[in-house]
């Protein structure tokens, strides 16, 4: 009898601990309480090792020395020097969203950029490999997933060749996303002189209670003059060679101009977190030669600097249209309310999601939000040509795209890199891509959606309750 009382007391203490720690994040608290009730005791151990609030960036701020501060201040000054004419432009005075983005001191808008948009893996990979082949000073590469397959081997061989030619090559990968990347692959790079680093090694982060965090960024910077980022990882499936998905639709970018400096800055901050090496040499931040006229704002986000506010602002500031493409749609309550409010206000709100899931739990959670948004008037479409992995938000004449999904993990638990595009040509291209994707998508009608089986509805309810965890 005594042991039953002790077990109950322990269970109550665990419940109380989760409620006290997560009281500011009620959705997350509910999700963990469900896990605790399904798996008593074990659920709390899982919570202890997985749910710890991330503090690495706080550590970085405490340790941040004058080198990083001076570097960032210098980059901000360079960016503002090239964008000083904005203050005289009616374009910025008339649009509240534009003006608010311009006034964010830590995320400056950059000028003189040239953007290339890629909608398929083959196009993007060939452009990356071509740029890497022409590198003269350095190559910085960072991906969430890197495969040791055909395209992964092409990157490996080229990086080895450039390192042997004397080009400085730094290579970062996420410990969880690239957990299948073999030691032999890394050893071949290291033997050739490539410096490698693992962001959050699984075993280390498990005991350090950071297992739930990922570096989801996809970055290539060549000589500090051209930068690539977007939704693609390195693997054959991103070229449409996975039988399960077939054609792979993604959105990736290359940039020339001042925005590259902030992609570089993001990479070198990540490098510092992994390797504790401070790299602030001016050679890595060269004067940009681009004569482009595009304005681009690079936005890096993570557990301590969420992108959620930006996404919310893009939705609530729209007056005519909100177009969203995302492989995972698990909005937080604020974004959900903003979408409902927008469509009730007469704004054209359309969302494209995959028809074939790659993660069933996340897919069922996504569907759980569809009905209430359909009832409000949001139009949903299921992409039919293959798997859509593009991550794009179009709000009137602004567009935001990069590595961030429309889900809680991207909002709060992953390191992401996005860009806001202000240029009409780039936004027009992304709108054209959106309509092209609509043409190969089936619209989800409320009358048909309500015919789902009881079993599927139950799966959706359960997935939604757990959605704050992923």
pLDDT digits (tens, 9 = 90+) for 419-429: 999 988 999 99
Q: Which two tokens stand for residue 421?
A: 């595009």
pLDDT at 202: 74
Q: What angle do CA 119, 121, 124 make, to 5 degrees?
A: 80
For residues 38 and 431, the model is more confident at 431
Q: What is the rounded distance in angstroms from the CA atom of residue 104 to the CA atom of residue 89?
A: 17
Pairing status of strand 379-383 against strand 441-444: antiparallel
pLDDT category of residue 88 using cuts at 50, 70 and 90:
low
Q: Are 256 and 292 in contact (CB under 8 A)?
A: yes
Nearest to 393 by CA among 231, 195, 151: 231
The whole-number average pLDDT for the span 368-394 is: 95
Buried b / exposed e over 231-267, threshold 16 CB at 10 Å, is: bbbbbbbbbbbbeebebbbbbbbbbbbbbbbbbbbbb
pLDDT at 221: 98
For the ranges 93-102, 217-226, 332-341, 365-374, the one whose mean pLDDT is highest? 217-226
pLDDT at 388: 96
Q: What is the pLDDT of residues 70-82, one digit of tens each?
A: 888 888 888 777 7
Buried b / exposed e over 426-435, threshold 16 CB at 10 Å, is: bbebbbebbe
pLDDT at 462: 77
pLDDT at 244: 83
- At 167, give phi and psi (nearest 5°): -80, 135
Handedness of CA 230, 119, 220, 111 (dihedral sign): negative
DSSP state of 160: H
Q: In the chain, what percentage of residues exceed pLDDT 90?
A: 55
Q: What is the rounded distance in angstroms from the CA atom of residue 358 to the CA atom of residue 218?
A: 19
Handedness of CA 391, 394, 395, 399 (dihedral sign): positive
Q: What is the pLDDT of residues 224-282, one digit of tens each?
A: 999 999 999 999 999 999 888 889 999 999 999 999 999 999 999 999 989 989 898 88
Q: Which two tokens stand for residue 54?
A: 């991330």
Q: What is the rounded distance in angstroms from the CA atom of residue 367 to the CA atom of residue 452?
A: 11
Does residue 138 carry a pLDDT above 90? yes
For residues 41 and 351, the model is more confident at 351
pLDDT at 60: 47
pLDDT category of residue 3 using cuts at 50, 70 and 90:
low
pLDDT at 261: 95
pLDDT at 126: 98
Q: Which two tokens stand for residue 355?
A: 């028809």
pLDDT at 47: 62
Q: Are 238 and 273 in contact (CB under 8 A)?
A: no
103: enclosing H helix or E strand: none
Instruction: Give me the chain's average pLDDT, please.
Output: 85
pLDDT at 18: 57
For residues 98 and 174, the model is more confident at 174
pLDDT at 62: 46
CA distances from 392 to 11, 230, 246, 261, 378 (A): 43, 10, 21, 22, 17
Q: In the chain, what percentage of residues exceed pLDDT 70?
A: 78
For residues 166 and 68, the model is more confident at 166
The whole-number average pLDDT for the span 14-30 is: 60
293: enclosing H helix or E strand: none
Q: Write the CB contacts of 235 (distance below 8 Å, at least 6 apart in sequence).
A: 145, 146, 147, 149, 151, 152
90: buried, middle or exposed (CB in 10 Å: 19+, 13-18, 0-12)?
A: exposed
- At 242, give phi and psi (nearest 5°): -95, 120
pLDDT category of residue 170 using cuts at 50, 70 and 90:
very high
Nearest to 137 by CA among 260, 227, 222, 71: 222
What residue ranges define each of the domains in the chain, with the CATH number in brackets? 2-50 (no CATH), 56-82+110-292 (3.30.870.10), 308-469 (3.30.870.10)
Does residue 51 carry a pLDDT above 80? no
Nearest to 355 by CA among 393, 321, 329, 335: 329
pLDDT at 205: 57
Does residue 143 carry a pLDDT above 70? yes
Q: What is the pLDDT of residues 297-320, one digit of tens each?
A: 999 988 777 788 899 999 999 999
Does residue 461 carry a pLDDT above 90? no
pLDDT at 386: 94
Catalytic site positions: 216, 218, 223, 389, 391, 396
Does residue 198 carry a pLDDT above 70? yes
- Could you identify the residue written with the tokens 């409320």? 446
CA distances from 395 to 253, 310, 311 (A): 19, 11, 10
Q: Are 399 and 429 in contact (CB under 8 A)?
A: no
Longest dimension (CA), the chain: 79
The whole-number average pLDDT for the span 187-203 is: 92
Coil, strand or helix at 232: coil
For residues 135 and 51, the model is more confident at 135
pLDDT at 395: 96
Radius of gyration for the alpha carbons in the chain, expressed in angstroms and rounded:
23
Handedness of CA 250, 403, 431, 259 (dihedral sign): negative
């Amino acid at each position: 009898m005594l042991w039953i009382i002790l077990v109950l007391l322990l269970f109550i203490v665990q419940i109380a601990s989760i409620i006290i720690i997560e009281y500011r994040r009620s959705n997350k608290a509910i999700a963990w309480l469900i896990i605790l009730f399904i798996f008593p005791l074990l659920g709390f151990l899982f919570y202890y090792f997985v749910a710890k609030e991330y503090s690495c960036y706080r550590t970085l701020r405490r340790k941040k020395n004058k080198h990083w501060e001076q570097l960032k201040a210098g980059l901000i000054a360079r960016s503002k020097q090239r964008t000083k004419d904005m203050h005289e432009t009616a374009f910025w005075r008339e649009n509240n969203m534009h003006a608010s983005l311009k006034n964010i001191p830590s995320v400056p808008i950059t000028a003189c950029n040239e953007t290339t948009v890629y909608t398929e893996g083959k196009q993007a990979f060939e452009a990356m490999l071509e740029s890497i082949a022409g590198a003269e000073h350095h190559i910085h590469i960072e991906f969430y997933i890197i495969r040791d397959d055909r395209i992964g081997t092409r990157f490996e061989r080229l990086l080895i060749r450039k390192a042997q030619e004397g080009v400085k090559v730094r290579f970062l990968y996420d410990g969880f996303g690239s957990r299948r990347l073999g030691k032999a692959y890394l050893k071949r790079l290291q033997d050739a002189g490539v410096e490698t680093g693992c962001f959050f090694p699984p075993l280390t982060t498990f005991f350090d209670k950071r297992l739930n965090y990922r570096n989801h960024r996809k970055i290539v910077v060549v000589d500090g003059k051209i930068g690539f980022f977007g939704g693609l990882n390195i693997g054959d499936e991103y070229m449409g060679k996975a039988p399960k998905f077939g054609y792979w639709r993604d959105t990736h970018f290359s940039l020339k101009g001042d925005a590259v400096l902030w992609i570089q800055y993001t990479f070198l901050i990540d490098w510092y977190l992994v390797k504790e090496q401070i790299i602030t040499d001016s050679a890595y931040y060269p004067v940009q030669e681009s004569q482009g006229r595009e304005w681009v704002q690079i936005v890096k986000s993570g557990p301590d600097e969420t992108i959620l506010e930006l996404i919310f602002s893009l939705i609530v500031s729209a007056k005519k249209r909100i177009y969203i493409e995302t492989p995972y749609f698990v909005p937080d309550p604020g974004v959900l309310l903003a979408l409902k409010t927008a469509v009730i206000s007469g704004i054209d709100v359309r969302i494209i999601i995959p028809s074939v899931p790659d993660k069933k739990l996340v897919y069922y959670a996504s569907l759980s939000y569809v009905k209430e948004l359909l009832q409000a008037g949001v139009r949903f479409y299921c992409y039919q040509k293959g798997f859509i992995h593009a991550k794009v938000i179009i709000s009137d004449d602004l567009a935001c795209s990069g590595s961030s999904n429309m889900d809680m993990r991207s909002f709060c638990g992953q390191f992401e890199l996005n860009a806001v595009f202000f240029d009409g040509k780039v936004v027009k291209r992304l709108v054209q891509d959106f309509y092209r994707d609509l043409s190969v998508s089936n619209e989800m009608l409320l009358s048909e959606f309500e015919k789902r089986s009881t079993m599927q509805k139950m799966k959706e309810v359960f997935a939604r309750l757990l959605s704050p965890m992923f």
